[in-house]
Structure 1
Amino acid sequence: MKKEWDKLDSGWEALESKMNETGMSMVSSIQPSIVRLNVGGLDVNIARSVLRKAGESSSSTWTLGDLFEGCVWDKRLPRCEDGRIVLDESPVCVEELLCDASSKRPGNSNFPDDEKPYIGGVASALGLDLGMTVPGGSTTLPHDEAERLTATILGWCPGRPEGLELLYRASRDGWSGDALHARCGDDSPSTISLFRVKTQDANTSDSIVGGFSSVPWTALPPENRGLDSFLFILKDGIEESHNFQPAIWGLRIRNPKPSGAYDMEKFGLIFGRGRIFDLSVVWTNQTLVAGNQVYAVPPGFQFIRLGGRAIADVEVFRVRQTMGTLPTTPPTVTGLIDCAAYFEASAMSAEEHENDVYRFGTSIAGSLKDERAALHTAQRELVQANTMAAASLKALAAVYGPHTAAGVKDPIVELSVRGSRTTERMTTLLSTLQACPESALAARFDEAKWPVTEKDKDAHGRRVMKDCSPSVFSKVLDVLRMKKREAWAGDDGKMGAAVLVAIKDADRAPFEEFVNMYFPGCESFIMDSVKFLDGPNGP
């Protein structure tokens, strides 16, 4: 058994060495009960117990929980002089999300209208899910309605579904049958396909239609496919109203002829029979095919009128059923090191153990049993520490970007934003202010071009932004944060194509003035990512 203990010791040494190389450190097993954050200039204290609860009740990887919870602590996390960890996100959105996580209360009815379109993007970027259990997230479902719409979809599905898991996203994986089949194999028989259909009015939300298939997606139509398949509409952007209700339609003719859902080279995700398509996407021009010959869609229903419109995105989700007895085989553990190289399970058979008992006596056998139990406990602790370190490293890259994860320092910038009526403290990172390198704003915070003098700071040492409304500058920061994330989001697609920063009508003129002043020649960098709300309080 000494050999196994020696291997375990070398495993801990390897893990600690790897962590030191990546800028991580072991901390005391007695964790402080509160995580102290500076979120965009707002001091926030969050209990670690909230991070654990939120992680258990939401998606399988809760990024903030991985980043701030555990036996490891990353030295590269940006910190203020008072030791608070800087989280470069919208303080209004993060505070709302954390309050929701801690109290499990329903959405705040007083939450500002101009923050509602953006909060979902912040939630997705931080690994929060607003109550929606969809590992992988969604660019099709609106973030502020995801929980309700997901519950509606699951209520339609047969069996006892417990959630959806993203398999394929056209904007991420490619608009082709090959890309679809690479993600949706024979191991995913029950799936939900969602189509987000563009509307012609930029101020109107997109329509969402889809279908359920109970058999895997294949390149050729099967002889009998998905007799319990159905089509549905979740949102209608053409005639959007508070009276609209989602609708579902089953097959008109239930027989063993080719029916349900299948895929061909030109078309994708086809719901129909033979050459009749009631729902499909044309890969080449990314448009929707919609009809009612196979499925019982009422004539003239708005679903049919969506045919021929452009599709913003297509997603396919596995429908996860409620699990019965959990498997006894332990899951494969990954991390910074290969733990299997440092220990192995006991090869002692029952007969050998019995011989040991007779040979050494009850007391000696008991000691051996205790030592082996201690060894297995130590092995589990190494696996847990290794897994936690890997999760923390991944979370760091997800929240702060690959450059920070690689050890590149991102300086903290403390600001005093002074408008004609109010002054507000804001905190961000230099990389955010320089997300558009060609802008005058980026040049202003490049000390090689614009050296900082004492007159540029207030009494607290914060950089002063004069004659700029805090409500305007906060929106500019939101856009820059989002643009920065888009540059290194990669395959995760965390933000989604539909996220826009909303600007109140009262702030439109000063916002446009600020963009023209600080982003001359690159105004579209900001303006393409915002939408203006009508009226003083939004729509």
Structure 2
Amino acid sequence: MERLDSSNKSLKTSHDNHEREYKAQIDKLDDEEKRLKQQLAELDTKKNQVAQANGDVDVSDDDLVEVNAGGKIIAAKRATLTQLKGTRLAALFSGRWDKKLQRDGDGRIFLDVNPVCFQAIVDYVNELKISSSDSPPSVSTVDEELDHILMHQLELFGLTDVLPMAPIPESTIITTYPTTKILYDWLDEDNSSGDFKLLYRSSRDGMSSSNFHSKCDDKGSTLTVIQTTDGFVLGGYSNGPWGNHHGHYGSYRTSSKAFLFALSGGSITPSKMKLVGNFNLAIYCHSSSGPAFGENEIRVSGSNVSLHCSGTTYESWPAQLSGTNKTIKEMEVFQVSGEPLKAARKQLPLTSNTNGKTSKQPPVSMFSKNINDAINEKWESLHELALEVSKLEQACKDEDTFVKFFLEGNPQDVISLNVCGSPIVTTRRTLQVCKKSSLAEQFSPNSHGKRDSEDATKWNPEDVVAWLNRIDGVSDAVVKEFEDNQVTGRELLALNNKEALMDFGVEKKGTIHLLLGEIRRLKKDRSNTTVLIEHSPYCFEKMIDFLRVEGSYIKGLVELKPEKPIVRKAEKSRFEKVVKHYFPGESCKMILG
């Protein structure tokens, strides 16, 4: 009996301990869930407060949003523009900042950006809306000359996950977004991507094995890109260094992450050929040979490249390339170094992580398998939610900075230009990026402010009241009527007949005729607010695009440095003249280098 009593007591103690430990685990889970939900609720409250102070709390996903992007009108539903949650793009069109956004003369949201690139972003989110997770869209391609502008806009609007963090610099072969993205994605698979530095270019350094080795030996990880005369683009990556072996047979070197690739040409689709055999045979080094991978899978000799398929080191080439010999048009070798892009991206949401955030919990193993699995699964989900909350908190802080320093501004500083018949719309801020330039002087507030102030469509209620007070013969009672009704400039211009003014409460005939005359003058002044620029639209817009990027970079909104504008060969001389006209002396070097 004593043994039974002891067993019962031991069983009860074990049961109570089990229940206590289980309850402790559930309480910890519940407390963490409650804390995270509270943080989300506080974020929602903050967003509502921002909307009440700076925008509209009653926006709808079905709202049609019209944007004037550098002079081009682009329209989309609010839900389409805000589907990438946590991005600046979503914040911009959320409705929370509608009172702060710059507007054009017709009341549309104005963005001082290249219109072609912004259209590419809108095309992307339009396609994203109808795409499945298994078949995500790519950002629409733009002309090669605008690639760097598109990259800048993606960073500006918080969309860096859509594209690689930066294009391959200096390459004359990999020049478009799609091929750049494919290469970055392949390198990301093994955490192999990083910063690129051009080591060797055959057209610049000479098509010889000695030139290749003098430039590329012992440089660590490299990417070799070959363009053939018949239009194929192919190459290989090695995380092992090249060397200059002078022996009769040469030597193989190890490269655990090496791969071959075929990007374009003929009817092939982009293909990556991974190591399948001995990675000690990944690359071959010999003084008489250029870049060589595997057992002759790639072998460069002079201006020729042979592509063979041994099947023992790498996966097979596409059928169109396997067993062929081709002539090299251009070959480039890049050193790949620094922190892998994928790892850097993964760390970004964690930069705002502070004390109190959910940390990764060690697996629970004290209960039955089913209970252990359920508890561990909930900890994993809470950890993911904590990272998401951290990301949203950081996005909220960034959103405030973005709107404050990029979007807020006097609507009278939106400048409409007629560039030999081509409309370009920008801001005074962009035109004055270089304070010492002739362009900045032409559009300074002192020299250009009066003309802009006469565009009444941009007036707020305070501007309307100030205008009325300047008109002799308008009574204080009429001014108060306009002030009480918060009449904007656009609404003022709509009061363009006797009946409209009488309905509004203006009764004296003399005041009615006085106001009608002044309103007609405002309308006439508005037609003269567009500034004529007698220069090549192509060249002038190239210059404005550079200033837009430079302005955002100076304000710290982007980390991607502005690049020298890419200009068609036939337009280079004209472009330089236009730049030097507006940026005389040393100031032109900012754009021309």
Name the TM-score, length of structure 1 as normaliser.
Answer: 0.52
Give the match for residue 414 of structure 1. 415
Residue in structure 1 matching 2:536, options 451, 469, 480: 469
Residue in structure 2 matching 1:482, options 549, 555, 562: 549
SS at match of 1:394: helix
Question: 1:417: Cα distance to partner?
Answer: 1.5
| 1:336-360 deviation digits (Å, cap 9, x = unpaired) | x99979xxxxxxxxxxxxxxxxxxx
Question: 1:39: Cα distance to partner?
Answer: 0.4
Distance across 2 between alignment mates of 1:139 and 1:92:
22
8 Å contact from structure 2 (residues 63, 77) kept in 1: yes
Give the match for residue 391 of structure 1. 395
8 Å contact from structure 1 (residues 433, 441) kept in 2: yes
Amino acid at match of 2:398: K
SS at match of 2:538: helix
Larger Rg: 2
Give the match for residue 439 of structure 1. 437
- How many percent identity over aligned positions? 16
In the alignment, structure 2 segments of 5+ residues that lack a partner are 1-30, 129-136, 198-219, 228-232, 241-252, 306-327, 344-348, 359-383, 456-524
Pair 308,119 (structure 1): closer, same or farther in 2 beyond 3 Å:
closer
Q: Does 1:86 align with 2:114?
A: no
Amino acid at match of 2:545: D
Pair 339,475 (structure 1): closer, same or farther in 2 beyond 3 Å:
same
Superposition pairs of residues 16-27 of structure 1, within 5 angstroms: 16=46, 27=57
Amino acid at match of 1:101: V
Pair 31,389 (structure 1): closer, same or farther in 2 beyond 3 Å:
farther
SS at match of 1:298: strand
SS at match of 2:73: strand
Give the match for residue 516 of structure 1. 580
Pair 19,524 (structure 1): closer, same or farther in 2 beyond 3 Å:
farther
Superposition pairs of residues 100-119 of structure 1, within 5 angstroms: 100-103=124-127, 115=146, 118-119=149-150
Question: 1:291: Cα distance to partner?
Answer: 5.0
Distance across 1 between alignment mates of 2:573 and 2:293:
51
Larger strand share, 1 or 2: 1
Give the match for residue 90 of structure 2. 65
SS at match of 1:80: coil
Distance across 2 between alignment mates of 1:230 and 1:301:
23
Distance across 1 between alignment mates of 2:551 and 2:226:
25
Question: 1:382: Cα distance to partner?
Answer: 13
8 Å contact from structure 1 (residues 232, 249) kept in 2: yes
Give the match for residue 230 of structure 1. 258
Pair 228,8 (structure 1): closer, same or farther in 2 beyond 3 Å:
closer
Distance across 1 between alignment mates of 2:46 and 2:442:
41
Question: 1:433: Cα distance to partner?
Answer: 0.7
Give the match for residue 126 of structure 1. 157
8 Å contact from structure 2 (residues 290, 299) kept in 1: no
Give the match for residue 323 of structure 1. none
Distance across 2 between alignment mates of 1:68 and 1:472:
31
Superposition pairs of residues 205-216 of structure 1, within 5 angstroms: 210-211=237-238
Pair 415,127 (structure 1): closer, same or farther in 2 beyond 3 Å:
same
Question: 1:395: Cα distance to partner?
Answer: 4.7
8 Å contact from structure 1 (residues 19, 25) kept in 2: no
Distance across 1 between alignment mates of 2:293 and 2:387:
56
Higher relative contact order (CA 8 A, sep 6+): 1
Larger helix share, 1 or 2: 2
Amino acid at match of 1:391: A
Question: 1:85: Cα distance to partner?
Answer: 1.9
Pair 81,467 (structure 1): closer, same or farther in 2 beyond 3 Å:
closer
In the alignment, structure 1 segments of 5+ residues that lack a partner are 172-191, 200-205, 214-224, 261-270, 279-288, 321-330, 342-379, 529-539
Name the TM-score, length of structure 2 as normaliser.
Answer: 0.48
Question: 1:120: Cα distance to partner?
Answer: 4.1
Question: 1:64: Cα distance to partner?
Answer: 1.4
For the aligned residues, what is the CA RMSD?
A: 6.0
Question: 1:480: Cα distance to partner?
Answer: 0.9
| 1:400-459 deviation digits (Å, cap 9, x = unpaired) | 7x7348x7768632223242xx2x332212221111222110111112466644899864
Distance across 1 between alignment mates of 2:221 and 2:591:
32
Distance across 2 between alignment mates of 1:383 and 1:250:
33
| 1:245-272 deviation digits (Å, cap 9, x = unpaired) | 98978789937xxx69xxxxxxxxxx98
Residue in structure 2 matching 1:40, options 70, 77, 94: 70
| 1:3-54 deviation digits (Å, cap 9, x = unpaired) | 999x96997499649966997567236445332211002221122333355x
8 Å contact from structure 1 (residues 198, 312) kept in 2: no
8 Å contact from structure 1 (residues 124, 137) kept in 2: no
SS at match of 1:431: helix
